[in-house]
Chains A and B, each alone.
Chain A
Protein backbone atom coordinates (compact mmCIF):
# COMPACT_ATOMS: atom_id res chain seq x y z
CA UNK A 1 0.00 0.00 0.00
CA UNK A 2 1.40 3.33 -1.06
CA UNK A 3 2.38 5.64 1.78
CA UNK A 4 4.18 8.94 2.15
CA UNK A 5 6.02 10.12 5.24
CA UNK A 6 7.66 13.40 6.16
CA UNK A 7 10.98 13.69 7.99
CA UNK A 8 13.25 16.50 9.09
CA UNK A 9 14.18 18.78 11.98
CA UNK A 10 11.39 19.85 14.28
CA UNK A 11 13.11 23.09 15.26
CA UNK A 12 14.67 25.69 12.96
CA UNK A 13 16.19 29.04 13.93
CA UNK A 14 14.89 32.29 12.46
CA UNK A 15 16.58 33.32 9.19
CA UNK A 16 17.77 29.75 8.56
CA UNK A 17 16.50 27.25 5.97
CA UNK A 18 13.83 24.68 6.71
CA UNK A 19 14.52 21.35 5.02
CA UNK A 20 12.07 18.45 4.89
CA UNK A 21 11.99 15.19 2.99
CA UNK A 22 9.04 13.04 2.02
CA UNK A 23 9.68 9.33 1.43
CA UNK A 24 7.32 7.39 -0.81
CA UNK A 25 6.97 3.71 0.11
CA UNK A 26 4.96 0.88 -1.38
CA UNK A 27 5.16 2.37 -4.86
CA UNK A 28 7.24 4.48 -7.19
CA UNK A 29 7.58 8.23 -7.16
CA UNK A 30 8.30 7.93 -10.88
CA UNK A 31 4.69 7.22 -11.77
CA UNK A 32 3.63 9.39 -14.70
CA UNK A 33 0.20 9.82 -13.15
CA UNK A 34 1.02 11.92 -10.12
CA UNK A 35 2.48 15.11 -8.75
CA UNK A 36 3.92 15.22 -5.26
CA UNK A 37 3.21 18.23 -3.12
CA UNK A 38 3.79 20.07 0.14
CA UNK A 39 1.03 21.65 2.19
CA UNK A 40 1.33 23.37 5.54
CA UNK A 41 -1.00 24.18 8.42
CA UNK A 42 -0.06 26.76 11.07
CA UNK A 43 -1.25 25.81 14.55
CA UNK A 44 -5.01 26.23 14.80
CA UNK A 45 -5.29 27.53 11.25
CA UNK A 46 -6.21 26.36 7.77
CA UNK A 47 -4.27 24.68 4.99
CA UNK A 48 -1.89 26.31 2.50
CA UNK A 49 -0.51 24.63 -0.61
CA UNK A 50 3.22 25.35 -0.92
CA UNK A 51 4.13 23.66 -4.17
CA UNK A 52 4.37 20.40 -6.12
CA UNK A 53 6.93 18.46 -8.13
CA UNK A 54 6.78 15.88 -10.92
CA UNK A 55 9.15 12.92 -11.06
CA UNK A 56 10.97 14.54 -13.98
CA UNK A 57 11.77 17.55 -11.80
CA UNK A 58 9.16 19.99 -13.07
CA UNK A 59 7.74 22.17 -10.32
CA UNK A 60 4.71 24.32 -9.52
CA UNK A 61 4.94 26.82 -6.68
CA UNK A 62 2.34 28.87 -4.83
CA UNK A 63 2.74 32.31 -6.50
CA UNK A 64 2.32 34.11 -3.19
CA UNK A 65 5.34 35.87 -1.62
CA UNK A 66 6.25 32.38 -0.41
CA UNK A 67 7.44 31.49 -3.92
CA UNK A 68 10.71 33.40 -3.66
CA UNK A 69 11.76 31.27 -0.69
CA UNK A 70 10.68 27.79 -1.90
CA UNK A 71 12.66 25.04 -3.57
CA UNK A 72 11.09 21.63 -4.15
CA UNK A 73 13.15 18.84 -5.67
CA UNK A 74 12.87 15.12 -6.35
CA UNK A 75 15.32 12.22 -6.00
CA UNK A 76 13.91 9.24 -7.89
CA UNK A 77 16.81 7.00 -6.84
CA UNK A 78 15.70 7.37 -3.22
CA UNK A 79 11.96 7.61 -3.96
CA UNK A 80 11.92 10.95 -2.15
CA UNK A 81 11.05 14.56 -2.72
CA UNK A 82 12.14 17.50 -0.63
CA UNK A 83 11.18 21.00 0.46
CA UNK A 84 13.55 23.82 1.27
CA UNK A 85 12.13 27.07 2.66
CA UNK A 86 14.69 29.80 3.19
CA UNK A 87 14.82 32.78 5.56
CA UNK A 88 12.20 31.37 7.91
CA UNK A 89 10.38 33.39 10.55
CA UNK A 90 7.97 32.47 13.33
CA UNK A 91 5.17 32.76 10.75
CA UNK A 92 6.54 29.61 9.08
CA UNK A 93 5.83 27.54 12.19
CA UNK A 94 3.38 24.89 11.01
CA UNK A 95 2.63 21.24 10.49
CA UNK A 96 4.04 20.38 7.09
CA UNK A 97 2.32 17.64 5.09
CA UNK A 98 3.48 15.89 1.97
CA UNK A 99 0.75 14.64 -0.32
CA UNK A 100 0.04 13.18 -3.72
CA UNK A 101 -2.29 14.50 -6.41
CA UNK A 102 -3.21 13.21 -9.84
CA UNK A 103 -1.76 14.86 -12.92
CA UNK A 104 -4.71 14.33 -15.23
CA UNK A 105 -8.36 13.36 -15.12
CA UNK A 106 -11.27 14.37 -12.96
CA UNK A 107 -9.30 14.07 -9.73
CA UNK A 108 -6.29 16.09 -10.81
CA UNK A 109 -4.99 18.61 -8.32
CA UNK A 110 -6.97 17.06 -5.48
CA UNK A 111 -4.83 15.58 -2.70
CA UNK A 112 -5.77 11.94 -2.25
CA UNK A 113 -2.85 10.58 -0.22
CA UNK A 114 -1.29 12.44 2.69
CA UNK A 115 1.48 11.91 5.18
CA UNK A 116 0.84 12.24 8.89
CA UNK A 117 2.53 15.63 8.94
CA UNK A 118 5.50 16.95 10.87
CA UNK A 119 5.53 20.00 13.14
CA UNK A 120 8.27 22.49 12.42
CA UNK A 121 8.78 25.25 14.96
CA UNK A 122 10.79 28.34 14.10
CA UNK A 123 12.40 29.67 17.25
CA UNK A 124 15.78 30.72 18.53
Chain B
Protein backbone atom coordinates (compact mmCIF):
# COMPACT_ATOMS: atom_id res chain seq x y z
CA UNK B 1 0.00 0.00 0.00
CA UNK B 2 1.24 3.50 -0.82
CA UNK B 3 0.76 5.75 2.18
CA UNK B 4 0.14 9.46 1.75
CA UNK B 5 1.12 11.86 4.52
CA UNK B 6 -0.40 15.34 4.46
CA UNK B 7 0.94 18.36 6.29
CA UNK B 8 0.13 20.37 8.16
CA UNK B 9 -2.90 18.79 9.78
CA UNK B 10 -4.44 22.23 10.23
CA UNK B 11 -3.69 25.51 8.50
CA UNK B 12 -5.06 28.70 10.10
CA UNK B 13 -5.26 31.52 7.59
CA UNK B 14 -7.29 34.60 6.71
CA UNK B 15 -9.26 35.30 3.53
CA UNK B 16 -6.89 36.61 0.90
CA UNK B 17 -3.93 34.62 2.25
CA UNK B 18 -1.98 32.12 0.21
CA UNK B 19 -2.40 28.49 1.29
CA UNK B 20 0.26 25.85 0.68
CA UNK B 21 -0.64 22.23 1.44
CA UNK B 22 1.75 19.31 1.22
CA UNK B 23 1.28 15.62 0.40
CA UNK B 24 4.14 13.14 0.59
CA UNK B 25 3.96 9.59 -0.75
CA UNK B 26 5.75 6.61 0.80
CA UNK B 27 7.07 5.71 -2.66
CA UNK B 28 7.00 7.34 -6.05
CA UNK B 29 3.57 7.77 -7.61
CA UNK B 30 4.94 9.58 -10.68
CA UNK B 31 2.37 12.33 -11.36
CA UNK B 32 -0.62 10.17 -10.48
CA UNK B 33 -1.96 12.33 -7.66
CA UNK B 34 -5.21 14.19 -7.16
CA UNK B 35 -6.52 16.73 -4.68
CA UNK B 36 -10.07 16.93 -3.32
CA UNK B 37 -11.93 19.50 -1.28
CA UNK B 38 -14.51 18.43 1.30
CA UNK B 39 -16.84 20.71 3.21
CA UNK B 40 -18.77 19.57 6.31
CA UNK B 41 -21.62 17.23 5.45
CA UNK B 42 -20.69 17.13 1.77
CA UNK B 43 -18.98 14.70 -0.55
CA UNK B 44 -15.43 15.42 -1.68
CA UNK B 45 -14.99 17.40 -4.90
CA UNK B 46 -12.18 16.71 -7.35
CA UNK B 47 -9.96 19.79 -7.72
CA UNK B 48 -6.72 18.66 -9.33
CA UNK B 49 -5.75 15.45 -11.13
CA UNK B 50 -2.42 14.11 -12.33
CA UNK B 51 -0.68 16.53 -9.97
CA UNK B 52 -1.31 19.75 -11.86
CA UNK B 53 -4.46 19.57 -14.00
CA UNK B 54 -7.51 21.44 -12.77
CA UNK B 55 -10.77 19.54 -12.98
CA UNK B 56 -13.73 20.98 -14.83
CA UNK B 57 -15.05 24.19 -13.28
CA UNK B 58 -12.26 24.61 -10.72
CA UNK B 59 -11.10 28.22 -10.32
CA UNK B 60 -7.61 29.21 -11.39
CA UNK B 61 -6.62 30.14 -7.82
CA UNK B 62 -6.19 26.40 -7.22
CA UNK B 63 -2.96 24.94 -8.56
CA UNK B 64 -1.04 21.74 -8.03
CA UNK B 65 2.57 20.81 -8.49
CA UNK B 66 5.03 18.03 -7.80
CA UNK B 67 6.01 14.57 -8.94
CA UNK B 68 7.50 11.43 -7.50
CA UNK B 69 6.89 11.61 -3.76
CA UNK B 70 6.33 15.31 -3.00
CA UNK B 71 3.28 17.29 -4.04
CA UNK B 72 1.81 20.69 -3.25
CA UNK B 73 -1.63 22.22 -3.54
CA UNK B 74 -1.59 26.01 -3.60
CA UNK B 75 -4.57 28.29 -3.20
CA UNK B 76 -3.29 31.66 -4.32
CA UNK B 77 -5.77 33.85 -2.45
CA UNK B 78 -8.26 32.24 -0.10
CA UNK B 79 -11.92 32.94 -0.67
CA UNK B 80 -14.44 32.39 2.17
CA UNK B 81 -15.74 29.25 0.44
CA UNK B 82 -12.25 27.68 0.37
CA UNK B 83 -12.16 26.94 4.09
CA UNK B 84 -12.55 23.18 4.10
CA UNK B 85 -10.62 19.93 4.41
CA UNK B 86 -8.35 18.92 1.53
CA UNK B 87 -7.32 15.36 0.70
CA UNK B 88 -4.75 13.98 -1.69
CA UNK B 89 -5.23 10.64 -3.47
CA UNK B 90 -2.85 8.54 -5.55
CA UNK B 91 -3.70 6.16 -8.38
CA UNK B 92 -0.27 4.69 -9.03
CA UNK B 93 -1.31 1.59 -7.16
CA UNK B 94 -4.73 0.82 -5.74
CA UNK B 95 -6.26 4.15 -4.63
CA UNK B 96 -5.27 5.53 -1.26
CA UNK B 97 -5.96 8.89 0.35
CA UNK B 98 -4.09 11.12 2.74
CA UNK B 99 -5.52 11.96 6.15
CA UNK B 100 -6.42 15.50 5.16
CA UNK B 101 -5.44 19.09 5.88
CA UNK B 102 -8.04 21.37 7.40
CA UNK B 103 -7.86 24.97 6.23
CA UNK B 104 -9.57 27.03 8.90
CA UNK B 105 -10.25 30.71 9.37
CA UNK B 106 -7.70 32.41 11.59
In which size bucket is the chain B interface? 20 to 34
The docked-state distance in angstroms from the alpha carbon of A116 to that of B71 is 28
Question: Interface residues of A toward B: which range?
Answer: 20 to 34
Q: Return chain B residues, CB-CB under 8 Å to A115.
A: 43
A46-62 vs B, Cβ < 8 Å mask (1 yes, 0 no): 11110000000000101
Cβ B53 vs Cβ A106 within 8 A: yes
A63 touches B34 (CB 8 A): no
Given contacts A108-B91, A112-B55, A116-B42, contact A47 B97 (CB under 8 A): yes
Contact B34 A49 (CB under 8 A): no
Say whether, besides A64-B1, A97-B43, A46 and B91 are in contact (CB < 8 Å): no
Instruction: Pick the residue among A46, A49, A106, A117 that contacts B94 (CB under 8 A).
Output: A49
Asked if A49 and B46 make an inter-chain contact with CB atoms under 8 angstroms apart, the answer reads: no
Provide the main secondary structure of the chain B interface: loop
A108 and B91 CA atoms in complex are apart in Å by: 8
Compute how far the CA of A57 lies from the CA of B62 in the bound complex, rounded to whole angstroms. 37
Min distance, Cβ B40 to any Cβ of chain A, angstroms: 11
CA distance A114 to B42 in the complex (A): 9
Contact with A along B32-75 (1 / 0, CB 8 A): 10101000001111100110010100000000000000000000
User: Which residues of B come within 8 Å of A, CB atoms?
Assistant: 1, 32, 34, 36, 42-46, 49-50, 53, 55, 87, 89, 91, 94-100
Q: Which 4 A/B pairs are nearest by Cβ-Cβ distance?
A: A114-B43, A109-B91, A47-B97, A49-B95
23 contacts between A and B (CB under 8 A): A46-B87, A46-B98, A47-B44, A47-B87, A47-B89, A49-B94, A49-B96, A60-B94, A63-B94, A64-B1, A106-B50, A106-B53, A107-B50, A108-B91, A109-B32, A109-B95, A110-B46, A110-B49, A111-B46, A111-B89, A112-B55, A114-B43, A116-B43
